[in-house]
């Protein structure tokens, strides 16, 4: 092949025939003859195919960025190309991305991040001294006084100390040990890491992981990736998505026939359901975990997002500490928090932490080893997490502006939560529980039998069919309830309440108009 190609190249460059002793045409003829004798081989099969890839990865599904979001991206490109639609923009109400929805960053957080990123600004009079103080403290703890250096695998020491101090304040003086704090790449990284270290065994001894249904799809995705066993427990929709311990008992009892239930995941406040658990409920769950010897995972990333005046956030760590030493010294608990939600909405920094208590000393070493494989979480994200847990305090220069911005964001979210609940419940065929917390509505929708048949004809879940039609006709992108799990025969979708109030009203009106037409079409 190489010789043939060489001959062809030579034949393409006219030169006096005497140079090689033959003409250009004879050289081309010889090349052609060589090619006939040695035909080009067909391309070999790929090593990595759908059949040969890791089957656990293939089993992973993540509805929040699934097929409907890909379709939304296609529609956006069509709009950019001038293709006419019955709408002028796609509204991505599928994900809790606060800044993408128009929420403004908290000034103090961005000031400290700017100072950490470009320390020359520390000499600028444009920045308040309390922001400079925090930036200097963070930078002094970084190698070379730079966010661009690696940190310890567990995270920057002074930031872990600040997280421990925050947890202690939050929990009314219940002490937190910085050595139990692990900084993470968002809460998702921490959840994934803990599950990795928990999953073991095979067959009936394979680790079972209890997750709420509806759930945040991270959990089912990681369980699939790790080839663990997903054990569903259903939240009570008729009782504002409450968690019932008798349902936990049912789930564990049935799971013991085919796996070893070892982990219990709780999301409080709930995603996608928005419920806020009462202290009594948390006590019951902790007692159940102690009784069944379950490792508790408390996903508390929405702890600042509580809107109902009848509800308040109780951390699992605080309740556990107040139940007495029999529980507080024995129940293994990992709690998670993040910069992405709350009033901050700093999703892109990927900042987070987990506090892990009552861990076996030898397992602690194994956890640090596992974390060291990824070197460290982004140091910029660690710095953002530090500002969340170490905000301005009364008497500091930035306190009033910080408090004003924080209260404005949370106040707006509370109004939007009530607005969404009220407007959805005015629509025939839509039923929405109170949005006690978090930043989503998860309304139940009635889908007529003819629409169910149409969905089956398109090889879609009925609520996926509904949400796809909603996207195609209104430009509104929401996530079908089937992506989060739901009781058989019920249908839902998840929609964020993050858009500005006027845009949210427009979205809700469009959903109402669409739903009424949908019911008429498939009646």
> pLDDT tens-digit profile of 428-443?
999 999 999 999 999 9
Mean pLDDT of the region 1-30? 49
Mean pLDDT of the region 112-135? 97
Q: Tell me: the pLDDT tens digits for 228-247?
A: 999 999 999 999 999 999 99
Q: Which of 360, 283, 297 is nearest to 327 (CA)?
A: 283
Distance CA(503)–CA(112), nearest Å, equals 31
CATH number of 150-389: 3.40.640.10
DSSP conformation letters of 176-231: --GGGEEEEEHHHHHHHHHHHHH----GGGSEEEEEEES--THHHHHHHHTT-EEE
What are the tokens at 407?
Answer: 């209260």
Q: Is the pLDDT of residue 43 over 70?
A: yes
Look up residue 263 and give its DSSP letter.
Answer: E
Q: Is the pLDDT of residue 26 over 70?
A: no
Which DSSP helix (H) or strand (E) runs through 262?
strand 260-267
Q: Structure pTM?
A: 0.86
Taking all residues of the chain, what is their mean pLDDT, rounded to a whole number? Answer: 90
Q: What angle do CA 346, 350, 354 make, to 5 degrees?
A: 110
User: Where in the sequence of the chain do the CATH 3.90.1150.10 domains occur?
Assistant: 63-102+406-521
| pLDDT band, very low/low/confident/very high, at 1 (cuts 50, 70, 90) | very low
Mean pLDDT of the region 368-387? 93
Contact 217, 483 (CB under 8 A): yes
Among 56-65, 83-92, 360-369, 411-420, the range scoring the smallest mean pLDDT is: 56-65
Distance CA(4)–CA(19), nearest Å, equals 19
Distance CA(483)–CA(220), nearest Å, equals 10
Give the per-residue pLDDT at 11: 45
Phi, psi values for residue 464, rounded to 5°: -65, -40
DSSP β-ladder status, 91-92 and 476-477: parallel
The 3-state DSSP class for residue 437 equals strand
Distance CA(453)–CA(283), nearest Å, equals 45
Give the per-residue pLDDT at 523: 87
Helix 462-474 to helix 67-80 angle (10° resolution) is: 10
CATH number of 107-149: 1.10.287.1970
Mean pLDDT of the region 333-338? 97
- Does 214 sit behind a cis peptide bond, omega within 30 degrees of 0 on the bond before it? yes
Give the per-residue pLDDT at 519: 95
Distance CA(356)–CA(349), nearest Å, equals 22
* C-alpha 334: how far from chain center: 17
* C-alpha 43: how far from chain center: 40
Residue with tokens 């030898």: 362
* C-alpha 405: how far from chain center: 25
Which DSSP helix (H) or strand (E) runs through 333?
strand 333-338
User: Where in the sequence of the chain do the CATH 1.10.287.1970 domains occur?
Assistant: 107-149
Q: Is the pLDDT of residue 186 over 70?
A: yes
What are the tokens at 180?
Answer: 């139990």
What are the tokens at 62?
Answer: 């993540």
Q: Is the pLDDT of residue 497 over 80?
A: yes
Q: Tell me: the pLDDT tens digits for 421-480?
A: 999 999 999 999 999 999 999 999 999 999 999 999 999 899 999 999 999 999 999 999
Within 10 A of 408 (CB to CB), how many other CB atoms are there? 13
| pLDDT band, very low/low/confident/very high, at 64 (cuts 50, 70, 90) | low
User: Does 301 or 21 have the greater pLDDT score?
Assistant: 301
* C-alpha 177: how far from chain center: 27
Contact 275, 240 (CB under 8 A): yes
Contact 504, 101 (CB under 8 A): no
Contact 108, 403 (CB under 8 A): no
Q: 341-352 burial by CB neighbour count: b if 16+ within 10 A, else e?
A: bbbbbbbebbbb
CA distances from 343 to 89, 97, 303, 340, 414 (A): 26, 12, 10, 9, 11
Tell the burial category of 337 from Cβ atoms under 10 Å away from its Cβ (0-12, 13-18, 19+). Answer: buried
The 3-state DSSP class for residue 356 equals strand
Within 10 A of 454 (CB to CB), how many other CB atoms are there? 17
What are the tokens at 496?
Answer: 């964020």
Distance CA(496)–CA(208), nearest Å, equals 31
User: Where in the sequence of the chain do the CATH 3.40.640.10 domains occur?
Assistant: 150-389
The class of domain 63-102+406-521 in CATH terms is alpha beta
Ramachandran sector of residue 358 (left: φ over 0; alpha: ψ -120 to 50; beta: rest): left
| pLDDT band, very low/low/confident/very high, at 51 (cuts 50, 70, 90) | confident
């Amino acid at each position: 092949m190489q010789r043939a190609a060489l001959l062809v190249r030579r034949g393409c460059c006219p030169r006096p025939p005497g140079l090689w002793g033959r003409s250009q045409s004879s050289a081309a003829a010889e090349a052609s003859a060589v090619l006939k004798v040695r035909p080009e081989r067909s391309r070999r099969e790929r090593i990595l195919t759908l059949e040969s890839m890791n089957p656990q990865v293939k089993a992973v599904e993540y509805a929040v960025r699934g097929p409907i979001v890909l379709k939304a991206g296609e529609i956006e490109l069509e709009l950019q190309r001038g293709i006419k639609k019955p709408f002028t923009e796609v509204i991505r109400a599928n994900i809790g991305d606060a800044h993408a929805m128009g929420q403004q960053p908290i000034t103090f957080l961005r000031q400290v991040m700017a100072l950490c990123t470009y320390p020359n600004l520390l000499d600028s009079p444009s920045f308040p001294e309390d922001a400079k103080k925090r930036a200097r403290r963070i930078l002094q703890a970084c190698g070379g006084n730079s966010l661009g250096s690696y940190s310890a695998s567990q995270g920057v020491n002074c930031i872990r100390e600040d997280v421990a101090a925050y947890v202690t304040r939050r929990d009314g003086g219940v002490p937190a040990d910085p050595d139990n704090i692990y900084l993470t790449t968002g809460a998702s990284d921490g959840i994934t890491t803990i599950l990795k270290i928990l999953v073991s065994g095979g067959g009936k001894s394979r680790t079972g992981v209890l997750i709420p249904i509806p759930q945040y799809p991270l959990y089912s995705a990681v369980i699939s990736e790790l080839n663990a066993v997903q054990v569903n427990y259903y939240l009570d929709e008729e009782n504002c998505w409450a968690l019932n311990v008798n349902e936990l008992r049912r789930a564990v009892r049935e799971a013991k026939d085919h796996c070893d239930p070892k982990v219990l995941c709780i999301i409080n406040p709930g995603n996608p359901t928005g419920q806020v658990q009462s202290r009594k409920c948390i006590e019951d769950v902790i007692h159940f975990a102690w009784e069944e010897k379950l490792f508790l995972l408390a996903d508390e990333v929405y702890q600042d997002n509580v809107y109902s005046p009848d509800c308040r956030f109780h951390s699992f760590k605080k309740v556990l500490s107040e139940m007495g030493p029999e529980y507080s010294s024995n129940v293994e608990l990992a709690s998670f928090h993040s910069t992405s939600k709350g009033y901050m909405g700093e999703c892109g920094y990927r900042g987070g932490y987990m506090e892990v208590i009552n861990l076996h000393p030898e397992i602690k070493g194994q956890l640090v080893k596992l974390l060291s494989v990824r070197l460290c979480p982004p140091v910029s994200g660690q710095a953002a997490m530090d500002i969340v847990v170490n905000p301005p305090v009364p008497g500091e220069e930035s306190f009033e502006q910080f408090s004003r911005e924080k209260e404005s964001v949370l106040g707006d979210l509370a109004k939007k939560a009530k607005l969404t609940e009220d407007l959805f419940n005015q629509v025939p065929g839509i039923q929405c529980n109170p949005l006690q917390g978090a930043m989503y509505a998860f309304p139940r929708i009635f889908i007529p039998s003819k629409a169910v048949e149409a969905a089956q004809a398109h090889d879609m879940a009925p609520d996926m069919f509904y949400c796809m039609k909603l996207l195609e006709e209104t430009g509104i992108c929401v996530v079908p309830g089937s992506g989060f799990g739901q009781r058989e025969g019920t249908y839902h979708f998840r929609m964020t309440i993050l858009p500005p109030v006027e845009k949210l009203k427009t979205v809700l009106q469009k959903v109402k108009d669409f739903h009424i037409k949908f019911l008429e079409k498939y009646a």
